[in-house]
Amino acid sequence: MTNPLLSHWDTPFALAPFDKISDEDFAPAFAEALETHKAEIAAIADNAAAPTFANTIEAMEAAGSGLDKVLSVFFSVAGADSTPAREALQREFSPKLAAHGAEISANKALFGRIKAVWDARETLDLTEEQQRVLMLTHRGFVRGGAALEGADDTRMKEIKSRLAVLGTDFTQNLLADERDWYMTLAEDDLEGLPGFVVDAARAAGEEKDAGGPVVTLSRSLIVPFLQFSPRRDLREKAFAAWAARGANGGETDNREIAAEILLLRQERAALLGYGSFADYKLETEMAKTPDAVRDLLMAVWEPAKARAEADAAVLTEMMHADGVNGDLAPWDWRYYAEKRRKAEHDLDEAALKPYLQLDRMIEASFACATRLFGLSFEPLDVPLYHEDCRAWDVTRNGAHVAVFIGDYFARGGKRSGAWCSAMRGQAKFPEVQAPVVINVCNFAKGDPALLSYDDARTLFHEFGHALHQMLSNVTYESISGTSVARDFVELPSQLYEHWLEVPEVLAEYATHAETGAPMPEEMLNKVLGAANFDQGFATVEYVASALVDLAFHEGAAPSDPMAKQAEVLAELGMPAAITMRHATPHFAHVFAGDGYSSGYYSYMWSEVMDADAFEAFEEAGGAFDADTAKALETHILSAGGSVEADELYKRFRGRLPDVEALLKGRGLAA
């Protein structure tokens, strides 16, 4: 019987036949596809013909499609619907993939051909996009260690392989801590909690077979519990478990893993001739240097810290008025901030939430894309990897553009957070290929499912990433969609969040779950008026994480990352009642892989641009200005990584932005 992962997918839009794929198919499919890709690379490297763009660079673009097919399915289900069997496969695949990548980047014959094409580039009459692909390919090989020889070459392969194992271990340890911990709640422990939190706790208890309601470490449940539970003892217990993820001792402890990762990254950078890993990593980003990153973060840190300290004084007074003496603690902040928000803005999240139905917010995100970019969304009835997933056919003027898949609900086997990935990227070479894009979130289930305002922003954020993938219009997949500088990739996602705050969007799609009535204008005004509420807290917890990440990578790797984290926070004067958004043992952005290592700042770098970019719409006459939307698609959403990020932004806006737009957007401007 043919392995469904290796066969031709005769399905609608050539989607993976999830109903025919079992866990037993992954290992043999991976092994065969890996050998096929090795043979394809060998054929390119050993080609007797003189190196050309077509027989070297384009041949590499075309190679590996079978392996991509297998891995796109596997990593989609491993991240969003993990099982012990899939975790074991991940541990098996990761070092093999790292070794394979290291073999390719260390293939001297292959690099010789790439270098020959690179050296002859001025004579080749290449398009702008081809020049870009050639430059990125050559640069990637050099940065991957292709020019290393002897012992250095061998050591680089060992480092890459070990980092792949450590990244997988870090991720799985974190998932285990998040999956295994829960706090049972007696019926009287539910007092003071709004209905949506009680419903989520009961649903979580059913999933855990706990015999009653529970609080888990899913952000969609623990954050509202910390916001609303009047029981300080239970808040403290829940917060302690949340803060301790990855640092509980035993087999799932991530602290030694983080230390080893940092040492290996430093060694990797040194082998390539860089002073630090941050120097190496930031060279290809918009920021370019650690100093530029620090300048941005510190420009925001001081006003944010001042705001947070002023807010802490107010919240402490509220706590003392409740008869609780002593200092405001991290498990108190969200509870008193929620009470303050209700008092100052008369905005009650429990009253707001019925107006933010998941299905209606999905409709809103689609409707904005229809008005801005002419896209239409029709539900698809196709097999997917989990019963919670949904799919849509995305079209424009009747022509197929993409398949969009949404996987919205939290469950035990899903890693925390929210993300967007392409199971298939857009390309026109070696054949036209429409993207298949997934948004994965961790919202609480309900009937109907209701979102917090923060959840709704997350939904719009991830759909912004999806639009970047779906509207991509380049020739080569290696530069399509979100294949851009890390500090540019968050621009489309963060920019799209702005449309959630457009009054006419909320007026139409924020309708009550029971009555169907639109959100009252008074509540709508309160929502928009409170948009920057508690920005001191939000900015401090984020910037502290970004500065710790930078400190880990811009000098000698710390032998004790937890001590280094404490040192950085002490130097910053971190407010005592606020913790890092992601402390080191659960900082998956930085330690699950290289993606955001010394790059967690990139959300803020992109926010400087997104605040400025939305101003372009407002200056042109409104959020749905057709000419500005067309410029956004032409110069940013469709362009992928075909041009340097700062040049793309200048083509859209005519100039680069400055930090004032961000401070104004967050309500932190002087």
Do residues 201 and 218 touch, judged by C-beta distance below 8 A? no
In this structure, the number of other CB atoms found within 10 A of the CB of residue 540 comes to 28
Strand order of the β-sheet with 436-443 is 375-380, 390-396, 399-409, 436-443, 419-424
- How much is the CA Rg of the chain, to the nearest whole Å? 25
d(CA 517, CA 526): 17
SS3 label, residue 308: helix
- End-to-end CA, the chain: 68
Tokens encoding 413: 């086997």
Beta strands in 386-540 (DSSP E): 390-396, 399-409, 419-424, 436-443
d(CA 160, CA 54): 29
Dihedral angle over CA of 179, 183, 184, 188, nearest 10: -140
What backbone phi and psi angles, to 5 degrees, belong to 334? -65, -35
Residue 584 identity (one-letter amino acid): T
Place of tokens 């289930």: 445
Place of tokens 């802490």: 312
**CA 621 from centre of chain:** 31
d(CA 631, CA 654): 11
**CA 171 from centre of chain:** 14
Name beta bridge partners: 437: 404, 422
Place of tokens 């993409």: 402
What angle (nearest 5°) sits at the alpha carbon of residue 323, between those of residues 321 and 326?
A: 95
Biggest CA pair distance of the chain: 83
d(CA 646, CA 285): 10
Dihedral angle over CA of 370, 14, 75, 435, nearest 10: -30
Selecting among 58, 178, 338, 462, the annotated active-site residue is 462
SS3 label, residue 392: strand
Pairing mode, strands 390-396 and 375-380: antiparallel
Distances (CA, A) of 585 to 175, 255, 375: 12, 6, 41
d(CA 531, CA 316): 22
**CA 87 from centre of chain:** 21
Give 21-64 as a DSSP string: --HHHHHHHHHHHHHHHHHHHHHHHT--SPP-IIIIIIHHHHTT
Distances (CA, A) of 317 to 311, 320, 328, 335: 10, 5, 9, 13
d(CA 294, CA 62): 40
207 catalytic per annotation: no
Task: Give catalytic residue positions.
Answer: 462
